Structure 1
Amino acid sequence: MSKYGVMVMGPAGVGKSTFCASLITHLQLNRRSAFYVNLDPAAEHFEHQPDLDIKDLISLEDVMEELQLGPNGGLIYCFEFLMENLDFLSEALNSLTEEYLIIFDMPGQIELYTHIPVLPTLVKFLTQPGALDIRLCAAYLLEASFVVDRAKYFAGSLSAMSAMVMLEVPHLNILSKMDLVKDQMRRKDFKRFLVPDTTLLEDDPAEVARKKAGVAVDVHSVDPADKDALMSGASFRRLNTAVANLIESFSMVSYLKLDCTDEDSVQAILSYIDDCIQYHEAQEPKELPEEEMEEEE
């Protein structure tokens, strides 16, 4: 019997835990069962207490103290330790029925989603038939305010595409914190960012302003410590154009909008998740209570 789950991923600070909390609240209000798994060994505060917490197995604070590792190296060590103790997950998840949506709250360590093979191994363990057999989809969050900085937006889109290629599961890309930007940009203009393409760089307001002012920066003559000057140079623009062309040529990345303060927005994202994991197709028709059946007759 298959189980169903969503892995909530993305860089630090994009609102992953906030989305998980909103999703759990929405499920509870609609009488659906949720099982909350925290896989961030550094997380401390939760709106909904996790049903399973990786810190019961290993915590980042203990690893950093005992092994003298930094936060990045310590987090990778925590996941490698988890991979050596997968019974911690299977014992907790094995008894869950198909009625549950298992929500995995992931850390914001970008290396985990790009070039370290730990997460692909974890995904294979969770989804392999005959064991847990979880129909899993990934929800990759990117903060909506990134659209203000085109270079940051395309860098985030590249990391989203990297996660899609690495994990090989149904994947949703989501622009979170829409409530913070809805007054900064017209809805018509924002729609252009739902599917990345190179024209977003061509009409970048910052670039247009530099061209009008006739400003040209020679990257070889500026102070290497002058970050603003370097990021205005021709080399940086060529890099951004190459990244944008790569994303557009693969044509894999598109975004959904999420406002966790809006119940309808959370419901819309949940409907996409359900479609990806084919949740409703496996549900048995529910019989009406005898009282309701008698009233219909």
Structure 2
Amino acid sequence: MSAQEPTTPDPAANPWPPVAPPVDLAAPAAAGMPGTFPPELPPLPERPPVPYHHGLRDTGGPWRGILALVLGVVAFFVLSLVFGLVGFGIEFLTGRLDPTDESSLETMTPVILLATNLSLAALIPVSMLLQRWLFGVRMGAMSSIAGRFRWRWLGRVALVMVPVFLVYIGVTFALDPSGEVRFDGEVWLYLAIVLLTTPLQSAGEEYGFRGLVQRSVGSWFRSTRVALVVGAVISSSLFALAHLAEDPWLIAYYFVFGISATVSARMTGGLEAPVLIHALNNTLLFVPL
């Protein structure tokens, strides 16, 4: 019997150190065992953007909106009283108006116009502060859904609206020309006050009525449509009453103007377009006078 030759072990058959079998990354791992990561969850659906008029809906109970309306109205009268007293006080002290003459209270002077415009312009910071305090929403959110005043968007709107208003004013005065305008020192003073402060006055009214009132009323309702309709009616009614007009047609004009400003804010997502339209309306109609 022949002796067997010694055999050499095959390293591939018995590797050392032992090697773990390959893992199929496509196969699910057993519970408690290392393996593949769980499949990724589908992305959450994006939350639809909240319309501008409904931006305060999820910020608290209805009492916040009620308190915002009350404080907003109080602020409106307080600002009007304080700035009015300062304006009339200056005119009484300088002798331009007679404090014993009741008709002086109905007289418009450059100082009275300046005081009136500044009192309404003050509604901008007051409205934003009330929103911040009562609803916990940052102040810039009152300007637009972007959280800021969109100056580029304002410029685009101006490219369309400014020529329209200029043509409207030109046609109006061509069909019904007024008397000769006398450009004296007081007229230039009026013109400077109108150009510098009337846009701020218009913006103040928009922040007060379309910003604070409209959105505060809208916070009471879950339905976006109901919030828009009720908020538009209430804010436009207060807007018309605030002008203290006695002519029913003029009251209706202010109400319709408020409704159109509300629709504009809803469609554009902010106050830029209403502010521009309001400022053009007040400035260009007043300057020729």
Same fold (TM over 0.5): no
- Larger relative contact order, structure 1 or 2 (CA cutoff 8 Å, min sep 6): 2
Task: Identify the structure with the greater helix proportion.
Answer: 2
TM-score (norm 2): 0.25
